[in-house]
Amino acid sequence: MLTIALPKGALLKESIAYFQQVGLNFDALLEPDNRQLQVVSRDGVARALLVRAQDVPVYVQYGQAQLGIVGYDVLREKTPHVAQLADLGFGRCRLSVAVKATSPYRSARDLPPHCRVASKFVRCANAFFQELDVPVDIVPLYGSVELGPLTGMAEAIVDLVSTGRTLKENGLVELEQIFTSTAYLIAHPRSYRLNIAGLGHYVKCLEGYRNRMEGRASA
């Protein structure tokens, strides 16, 4: 049976809508009292696993799911061995460098050498500042990264920004974008090559749907 790893959180609703276009109905996962982590589609041909966004590429890399949807930010940070089939366009946000609005810095290059930068994206942040040739000390955090500058622990943060509301509420301003992120369709490379569980059929249907959507958007 085709197994699809779907991310909890911000991308879930649109991910379910996406698979609905090719007849796979997983909306049981959207019911408010849902506690199930695995559901079979209404027609019984596929199964969805509901997992943390960061775990989606793990299930796909190990072949426990043949397909998955995950943000590009996770792919950049974790660099899993998965096939990136398509940029789905939804869930758009950006990984950005931000500082206190009252700080004197106006670009990432202005940050003082060896200052502290709080981030959940340790690899991406390190790579960005290395490329920039500004040596910084990344403070790895799991949540509420905006507290870093507010408490004085860090001069700057590297975090995902979508509407910018959280930054604003915390008196922070965006200095620079590192990359933009959207939802990606990923596949287990070998399952995709060998067309396991009719994977090729679904990917083709999904591509057809996407092309129609893009056609409509640009018309």
99 lines the binding site for a second copy (CB under 8 A): no
Closest CA to 88 of 216, 219, 213, 218: 213
Q: Is there binding between residue 159 and a second copy (CB under 8 A)?
A: no
How far apart are CB 144 and a second copy at their closest, in Å? 6
Residue 132: what residue type? L
We find the least distance from the C-beta atom of residue 201 to a second copy, in angstroms, to be: 22
Binding residues among 119-158 for a second copy as defined by CB under 8 A: 139-144, 146-147, 150-153
Q: Does 102 bind a second copy (CB under 8 A)?
A: no
- Tokens representing residue 206 in the block: 């999904």
Smallest distance from a second copy to CB 5, Å: 9
Stretch that binds a second copy, among 51-59, 99-107, 196-204, 207-215 (CB under 8 A): 51-59
Residues lying near a second copy in the complex (CB under 8 A) are found at 3, 8, 37-38, 49-52, 54-55, 58-59, 62, 64-65, 116, 139-144, 146-147, 150-153
